[in-house]
Amino acid sequence: MNTPQNTPGITYAQAGVDTEAGDRAVELMKSSVARATRPEVVGGLGGFAGLFDASALQGMSRPLLTTSTDGVGTKIAIARALDRHDTIGQDLVAMVVDDIVVCGAEPLFMTDYIATGSVVPERIAAIVSGIARGCELAGVALVGGETAEHPGLMAPDEYDLAGAATGVVDAPDVLGPERVAQGDAVLCIASSGLHSNGFSLVRRVVEHAGLSLEEEVPEFGRTLGEELLEPTRIYSLPLLEVIRATRVHALSHVTGGGLAANLARVMPQGLYAALDRSTWAPAPVFDAVQRWGGVDRADLEKTLNQGVGFVALLPQESVDTAVELLAGHGIDAWVAGEVHGSAEAGLGAQVATGDWVTGAKGVEGGAAALVGDHA
């Protein structure tokens, strides 16, 4: 192989990686990350690994560590189109920590990963500011992260996010299907909007309808882009408060697959829960997506959360306390049904056999369905 003589060697910067830009991004994000901490964090930003003092776990009878990892999907395309990157990080935190609280665990710390075609320090700092804000809302420490520059693999303005978090729960306090009982109330807990699922459908609908992200939508009271970028609600701290004050049996985080499918994942075999649509009216954005795209209701409900971000299964006597505590955090909640011992009982009598959702995400448990029409 012949190599050119007396010519300058190729630098890392010429290959597309700007390490100085990475250092500037770290400097810009320092103040945000400093706010996303807990007393148990040992050390600071810049280490090869984050340190967290776990000595408090010694007070538990059998501490179980929990972990979750996720991203935000194609919602990133909306942030890129609007060149607004300060909210997408909260979506990342929510998708991770709110999976952890489902089993009754307290999320403790989190790390993030950003891959991009080109490091623009201000953009990376904006993304991390949203992650840090989400961690503050969740009571979680942001103990580390990585920003990777991938020139040639990703376009300069492209990026993707991922995150992972760790939590803990004492074994006797683990929530799940084995605690659910016939007669439990099905408490729906409001979403803040579309959250971070179904954006492949949403984006296709917007394109099909010829809509601009910058145009004002009267029913939203803001632009279409602002509505679509509404950050995912973070439920972990309010739900931990509810768990400690009541007798919650199971929780379901309504993400990909929709409301019925995610509820079915925490239903025990032999029990059924039918949610009455007439107990709530989804936010206008859900109706708009259905109308603009002519989307079939069944497909819409399998894709979007329809205004419900979480579901709690709990004894009837715990409902009032749970609703009051959630209201104190500005979160609406309402009873949409109850757990039955047969598909024919209660509202389940209105549902054809084929409409029950069971076996979602590989979990062979009970069943759930939506019945009636929205208010």
CATH code for the domain in which residue 275 is found = 3.90.650.10
Q: Tell me if 2 is assigned to some domain.
A: no
- Does residue 99 sit within a domain? yes
Q: Which amino acid is at 22?
A: G
Considering only CA atoms, which of 201, 358, 362 is closest in space to residue 285? 201
Q: Which of 162, 128, 154, 160 is nearest to 16 (CA)?
A: 154
3 is a domain residue: no
> What pairing do the DSSP bridges indicate for beta strands 250-253 and 308-314?
antiparallel
**Rounded distance between C-alpha atoms, residue 303 and residue 247, angstroms:** 30
Same domain, 161 and 38: yes
Q: What percent of the chain has pLDDT over 90?
A: 75
Across the range 363-374, mean pLDDT stands at 88
The total of structural domains in the chain comes to 2
Confidence of residue 326 (pLDDT cuts 50, 70, 90): very high
pLDDT band at 356 (very low <50, low <70, confident <90, very high): confident
Among residues 170, 193, 224, the one where a domain terminates is 170
Which pLDDT value is given to residue 284?
97
Q: Report residue 240: phi and psi, to 5°.
A: -65, -35
Give dist(CA 143, CA 61) in Å, integer: 26
- Do 112 and 26 meet the contact criterion of CB atoms below 8 Å apart? no
pLDDT at residue number 53:
86
pTM over 0.85: yes
What value does the mean pLDDT of the chain take?
90
* Domain contains 33: yes
Listed residues 152, 170, 188: the one ending a domain: 170
Residues 324 and 359 both lie in one domain: yes
Question: How far apart (Å, rounded) are the C-alpha atoms in residues 143 and 132?
Answer: 10
Residues 250 and 284 in one domain: yes
Is residue 112 domain-shared with residue 234, that is, in the same domain?
Answer: no
Range from 24-33, 90-99, 180-189, 304-313 carrying the lowest mean pLDDT:
24-33
If pLDDT is split at 50, 70 and 90, which confidence band does 186 have? very high
Q: Residue 13, exposed/middle/buried by CB under 10 A (0-12, 13-18, 19+)?
A: exposed
Q: What is the largest CA-CA distance in the chain?
A: 85
Burial group, residue 64, by CB count within 10 angstroms (0-12, 13-18, 19+) = middle
Let me know whether 201 and 285 are in one domain: yes
Q: Give the mean pLDDT of 218-225.
A: 97
pLDDT higher than 80, residue 20: no
Phi then psi dihedrals of residue 36, to 5 deg = -95, 75
What average pLDDT does the segment 21-36 reach? 66
- Confidence (pLDDT) at 98: 97
| pLDDT greater than 70 at residue 10 | no
Structural domain for 339, as ranges: 177-371
pLDDT at 308 exceeding the cut of 70: yes
Q: State the pLDDT at residue 374.
A: 92
Residues 210 and 260 in one domain: yes
pLDDT at 38: 83
CA nearest neighbour of 199 among 17, 70, 77: 77
pLDDT at res. 183: 96
328 belongs to a structural domain? yes
Whether residue 9 lies inside any domain: the answer is no
Domain boundary (143, 170, 197) is at 170
- Same domain for 358 and 250: yes
